């Protein structure tokens, strides 16, 4: 076996035996026992728990208006409606990252420019049906450079940030957002074009030569409620837009994917390792999720121009990684696009679930059969408006796919845990 392959697989071998028992019955291998106190503490809603308890196989329900806990200060004046709606989806910023110990889902990332470009950070608690603002935005990155920018920005150790500490060149997340339980932080591959960058640097007397040259990776620590940049040692993946980042327990790190490049990030050691697998490029803006039981990455994208929707697998169990292998292609498959749909893995149902924002349809993908199925849930259909900027994630604590709108939340259960255990 080549040295590069041995290096790549070493991370998996360290934790694979400890993970095996957990992933077989669908529980997350990410969630250690104990941990710091989760604040703010939120009491579960008896009405929410009752509705979720009643969900059976292929069943849906609707929850009422989410509660919003925030203190936006001056950022509440005319730029948005987040006091009423919560953060909402933001162009190519729609992914949420499940935090297993907190049992909440994390969200961050910027709009393209309207109505704002913020560095705020949020979490959503399903049992309490509540949004919590963890980091009050301290910079609106849009418009002409003024004294506001000069008073707000600073360059520290090569990172352009606010004086409070948040990222000052915020990007979309695309699918490049994940949560690393080892460092208890959300990771954001925060790559953005040079829009306003030179003007911001000019405003504080700096140049692009002063900037950190590595990947623009930021970490948000929800227990401390703070942003910190994450410098890493060379070699690095190249800086690019539309990359994905997904924490993989059996590898002990986060898998980064962009076109033909696949890298593993060890956030504890601040190092990247390139995959030795052959380079079979994925289109940019592809949806990716992790199937822990099958030790598999699943990707879906399309349609793209003349290309039909396609699905790929990346086996993490192969002694010699083969890279991405196409498993499905054709008309009638769901729309795979990281601004138009959500895809997360359901560890109880053992399928990937994909929700299309435009059609409000939900699909399942069975990896063994390599088959997509358009589902017809028993229960209420999603009632979100045509222009409603929904967000979604899979809640492993409650075993439901969750879609969050402005004034309602739609929950879907593919398979009940009790039935799965008795099969």
Using a pLDDT cut of 70, give the percent of the chain over it: 90
Selected residue with higher pLDDT from 87 and 36: 87
pLDDT for res 239:
85
Q: Is the dihedral of CA 178, 30, 357, 76 positive or negative?
A: negative
pLDDT at residue 13, rounded to an integer = 43
Q: Is residue 264 scored above 90 in pLDDT?
A: yes
Spatial CB neighbours of 302, under 8 Å, sequence gap ≥ 6: 283, 308, 309, 310, 333, 335, 336, 337
Distance CA 304, CA 242 (A): 15
Prior bond to 67 cis, omega within 30?
no
Cβ-based burial of 228 (10 A; exposed 0-12, middle 13-18, buried ≥19): middle
What pLDDT, in 10s, does the model give residues 310-360?
A: 999 999 998 888 999 999 999 999 999 999 999 999 999 999 999 999 999
Please state, in angstroms and rounded to a whole number, the distance separating the CA atoms of residues 110 and 104.
20
Q: Quote the pLDDT of residue 376.
A: 98
Query: What are the φ/ψ torsions at residue 269 (nearest 5 degrees)?
Result: -100, -5
* 26, pLDDT greater than 50: no
Strand 153-156 relative to strand 217-221: parallel, antiparallel, unpaired?
unpaired
CB burial readout 113-124, b (16+ within 10 A) else e: eeebbbbbbbbb
Arithmetic mean of pLDDT, 264-268 = 98
Q: Which is more confidently placed, 287 or 29? A: 287
- Among 9-23, 78-92, 107-121, the least confident range: 9-23
Domain range summary for the chain, segments of one domain joined by +: 3-422
For the stretch 223-263, pLDDT in tens is 999 999 999 999 999 889 899 999 999 999 999 999 999 99
Q: Which stretch of 19-28, 47-56, 141-150, 182-191 has the lowest confidence by average pLDDT?
A: 19-28
Is 170 within 8 Å of 190 (Cβ atoms)?
yes
> 0.75 exceeded by the pTM?
yes
Residue 27: band (very low, low, confident or very high) from pLDDT cuts 50, 70, 90: very low
Grade residue 20 by pLDDT with cuts at 50, 70 and 90. very low
**Predicted pLDDT at 114:** 80
pLDDT per residue over 102-132, tens digit each? 999 999 999 998 888 999 999 999 999 999 9
pLDDT digits (tens, 9 = 90+) for 136-188: 999 999 888 999 999 999 999 999 999 999 999 999 999 999 999 999 999 99
Across the chain, mean pLDDT equals: 91
Which CATH code is given to the segment(s) 3-422?
Answer: 2.120.10.80
Q: Residue 63's pLDDT is what?
A: 98
* Residue 290 to residue 314: CA distance in whole angstroms: 9
Whether pLDDT at 10 is above 80: no
Q: Are 90 and 391 in contact (CB under 8 A)?
A: no
Residue 286 has pLDDT above 80, yes or no: yes
- 11 pLDDT more than 70: no
Mean pLDDT of all residues in 9-18? 44
Mean pLDDT of 38-48: 97
Q: Is the pLDDT of residue 69 over 80?
A: yes
Quote the pLDDT of residue 8. 60
pLDDT at residue 72 in the model: 86
Is 50 exceeded by the pLDDT of residue 379? Answer: yes
pLDDT-derived band of residue 14, with 50, 70 and 90 as boundaries? very low
Rounded CA gap, 117 and 96, in Å?
A: 18
Half-sphere CA count of 168, side-chain side, radius 13 A: 27
- Chain segment 187-209, per-residue pLDDT in tens: 999 999 998 999 999 999 999 99
């Amino acid at each position: 076996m080549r040295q590069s392959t041995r290096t790549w697989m070493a991370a998996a071998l360290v934790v694979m035996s400890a993970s095996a028992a957990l992933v077989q019955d669908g529980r997350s291998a990410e969630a250690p026992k104990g941990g710091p106190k989760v604040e703010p503490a939120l009491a579960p809603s008896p009405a929410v728990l009752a509705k979720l308890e009643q969900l059976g196989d292929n069943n849906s329900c609707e929850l009422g208006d989410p509660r919003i806990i925030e203190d936006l200060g001056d950022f509440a004046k005319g730029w948005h409606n987040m006091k009423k709606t919560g953060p909402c989806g933001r162009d190519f910023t729609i992914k949420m990252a499940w935090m297993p110990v907190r049992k909440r889902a994390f969200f961050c990332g910027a709009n393209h420019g309207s109505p704002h470009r913020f560095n705020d950070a949020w979490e959503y608690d399903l049992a309490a049906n509540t949004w919590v603002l963890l980091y009050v935005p301290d910079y609106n990155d849009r418009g002409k450079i003024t004294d506001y920018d000069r008073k707000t920005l600073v360059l520290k150790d090569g990172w352009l940030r606010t004086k409070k500490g948040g990222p000052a060149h915020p990007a979309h997340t695309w699918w490049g957002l994940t949560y690393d339980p080892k460092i208890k932080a959300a990771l954001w591959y925060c790559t953005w074009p040079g829009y306003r960058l030179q003007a911001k640097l000019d405003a504080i007397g700096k140049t692009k030569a002063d900037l950190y040259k590595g990947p623009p990776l930021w970490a948000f620590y929800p227990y401390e409620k703070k942003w910190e940049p994450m410098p890493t040692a060379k070699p690095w993946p190249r800086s690019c837009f539309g990359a994905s980042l997904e924490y993989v327990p059996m590898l002990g790190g986060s898998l980064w994917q962009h076109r033909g490049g696949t890298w593993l990030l060890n956030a504890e050691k601040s190092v990247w390792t390139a995959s030795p697998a052959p380079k079979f490029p994925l289109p940019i803006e592809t949806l990716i999720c992790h199937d822990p039981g099958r030790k598999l990455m699943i990707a879906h994208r399309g349609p793209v121009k003349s290309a039909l929707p396609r699905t790929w697998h990346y086996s993490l169990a192969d002694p010699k990684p083969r890279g991405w292998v196409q498993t499905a292609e054709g008309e009638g498959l769901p729309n795979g696009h990281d601004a138009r749909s959500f895809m997360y893995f359901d560890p109880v149902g053992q399928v990937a679930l994909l929700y299309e924002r435009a059609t409000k349809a939900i699909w399942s993908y069975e990896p063994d059969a390599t088959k997509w199925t358009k589902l017809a849930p028993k229960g209420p259909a999603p009632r979100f408006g045509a222009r409603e900027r929904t967000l979604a994630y899979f809640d492993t604590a409650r075993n439901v796919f969750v879609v969050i709108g402005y004034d309602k939340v739609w929950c879907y259960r593919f398979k009940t845990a009790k039935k799965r255990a008795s099969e």
